[in-house]
Amino acid sequence: MSDLKAPIAVRCTPELVYNYAAGRYGSLFLQGLKEGRILASRCRRCARTLVPPRLACTGCFGAMEDAVELEPRGELLAFTLVAFPFLDPFTGIQRPIPYCYGMVRFAGADNTFQYFLSEKDPAKLRVGQPVRAVFRAAAERVGEMADLLYFEPGIGG
Amino acid sequence: MGERVAIIGAGQTPHRSRRLDVSAPELIDEAVQAALADAGLEPDGIDAIVVGNMEHFEGIHLSDLWAVEGTGGVGKPHLKIATGGTTGSSLAQAAYYLVAGGMFPTVLAVGWERLSDSEGETTTGIVTAFDPIYERPTLAGAVSGLAVMACQYQARTGVRAEEAALVVVQARENAARNPHAHLSKAVTVPEVLASPLLSSPLRYLDMCPTSDGACAVVFTSRPGARRAAWVRGVASRHNHTLLGDVAEGAHDYINTLEQAAADAYGQAGIRDPRREFDVVEMYEPCTWAALEWAESLGLAPRGHAAALWADGTARRDGDLPINPSGGVLCANPIGATGLVRVAEASAQVRAAAGPLQVDGVRTALVTGFGGSFWSEVMILGSEA
Ligand SMILES: [Zn+2]
């Protein structure tokens, strides 16, 4: 066996750019955010209502052709405070921590929506808590997810 | 059911935080040579190969092209499978189907991963697996996805962090006997509770590590006189794209596991899983998952799985040993992790588990977890 002084690793640091198509339903949803509205889709077959809207029903695989607007409020079904550092694939640098996000069921929806929470102390959050969606100021909205700032504690279910 | 299928050999590398001493194909070769030796086969005894890892962790696409120097697959049917955390259990299922279908007498399943190649940024890789528009902005990989599940489980059951911590205390005890394990140092409940918060309620010691490692398992319809672990049940259930759809089930986060278990139990004639299994090799990426999923598998009543670890039932000398290998909490080379569960369980059934051997194993339960909480189950038995 030949003598190996030390194993070697070769470093590779590519910069890769992608543009993801939001599609018909995703574009409608992002357009809705720009207008300060939460759009869902409703199944013609089983009446299931989903946010974000999409082509096919998650319950029966039926077509979801009808976009419906929901009130920007719901119920917090689960949450977490993210406290560990990692590289954000959107930016290539560390995502700012800590931050809280949760699973919110919009009033009138069957599924939940995963998004940021304003509260940064999980001890002040509870499963079942009412929350409401907070948008950027109208003049600053551009039709992207970040137009929706976060959910904050709300009143009533 | 087609051909009866037996596992006649398995091999693993030591799983470590970094295997800088070997390249990817050299790492794979270690596991493949060990599996061939265990099965008493030469390379020409393998008719087809299924191989898998998760490409985004190494940034190597067409990873089967890379892997073939290690699998010995040149000139043979050679299929790649990548299903996230379930990659290893999907490899086992695919190998089973190829043999059971009568297409190939003997198939080698090979899973591998080098999580150190991306400098520990496993979370970044996992985030890129999820919807780029709706869920990547918030998701912090498997850690936060599992944290959300643990939050729901905690709210539903009232189980406390110190009860969940017992899972990793036992896992480390078991791993101390396992030369392949990545983490085998003893930990205590206070150490788990004092470890850094990753994503509430998950702390550092609640979560599996990231490892470099590989595993290979030989499936055959012609075991001859070799010691065999027979495949008696196989089931897989996929889940939704969005975690927001997965999380809508308020009572049971991972109903895909319940569904897959019901299917596999039916195939194997299992009616009372708590009594009929002699050992379980469960894919438990975190302590809380072990609790909830033991309930999904019917091993404990809803909300009461913590008792399996608290009262010693799950210990290697208990009534229902769970992960005598130390499990995923002690070694996690992701593309191999699910196949390691199959390798460990088959060794138990074949009475070939060495220092990890549990007495009198006739029936073993294996699970896989991956992606947006989808599930796979395999049941192995000492008789066809
Ligand atoms: Zn429907």
CATH number for the region B6-119+208-379 comes to: 3.40.47.10
**Chosen from B116, B248, B253 to mutate, greatest number of chain A CBs within 10 A:** B248
The per-residue pLDDT for A157 is 43
Which of B75, B21, B27 minimizes the C-alpha distance to B48?
B75
Please report, rounded to a whole number, the percentage of residues in chain B having pLDDT higher than 70. Answer: 98
Least CB–CB distance from B198: residue in A14, A83, A126 = A83
Nearest chain B residue (CA) to A52: B134
A64 touches chain B (CB under 8 A): no
pLDDT in tens, A85-130: 999 988 889 999 999 999 999 999 999 999 999 999 999 999 999 9
Q: What letter does residue A97 receive in the DSSP assignment?
A: S
- Under 8 Å between Cβ of A76 and A116: no
Q: Taking residues B20-33, what's their average pLDDT? A: 97
Q: Which residue has the tokens 């869920």?
A: B135
> In angstroms, what CA-CA distances link B105 with A31, B4, B75, B219?
56, 10, 17, 8
Q: Hey, what are A38's tokens?
A: 């939460």
Look up the domain containing A142 and give its range: 23-153
* DSSP code at position B354: G
Domain count, chain A: 1
CA distances from B149 to B22, B85, B172, B201, B247 (A): 37, 16, 23, 10, 8
The pLDDT tens digits along chain A (157 residues) read: 789 999 998 888 878 888 999 999 999 999 999 999 999 999 999 999 999 999 999 989 999 977 899 999 999 999 999 999 999 988 889 999 999 999 999 999 999 999 999 999 999 999 999 999 999 999 999 999 999 999 999 875 4
Which residues on B lie below 8 Å from A126 (Cβ)?
155
CB A76 within 8 A of CB A102: yes
The C-alpha atoms of residue B200 and residue A81 are separated, in whole angstroms, by 5
Give me the residue spans of the domains in chain B: 6-119+208-379
CA pair distance B288, B22, nearest whole angstrom: 34
A78 contacts B148? CB cut-off 8 A: yes
Q: What is the ipTM of this complex?
A: 0.94
Q: How far is CA B168 from CA B186, B229, B310, B355, in A?
A: 9, 28, 12, 19
Residue A2: inside a domain: no
What separation, in Å, do the N-terminal and C-terminal C-alpha atoms of chain B show? 12
Report pTM.
0.96
* Residues B81-91 pLDDT 10s: 999 999 999 99
What phi and psi, each to the nearest 5 degrees, are found at residue B27?
Answer: -65, -45
Query: Is residue A53 domain-resident?
Result: yes
Helix axes B63-71, B24-39, angle to 10 degrees: 40
List chain A residues with CB under 8 Å of B248. Answer: 77, 105, 110-112
Asked whether residue A11 is domain-assigned, the answer is no
Confidence (pLDDT) at B120: 77
The torsion defined by the Cα of B155, B161, B162 and B166, in degrees rounded to 10, comes to 100
Q: Taking CB atoms and an 8 Å limit, are A84 and B199 in contact across chains?
A: yes
Kind plus residue range of the DSSP H or E element containing B39: helix B24-39
Average pLDDT on B12-19 reads 97
Are residues B134 and A77, on separate chains, in Cβ contact within 8 Å? no
Q: Is A142 among the domain residues?
A: yes
Q: What is the mean pLDDT of chain B?
A: 96
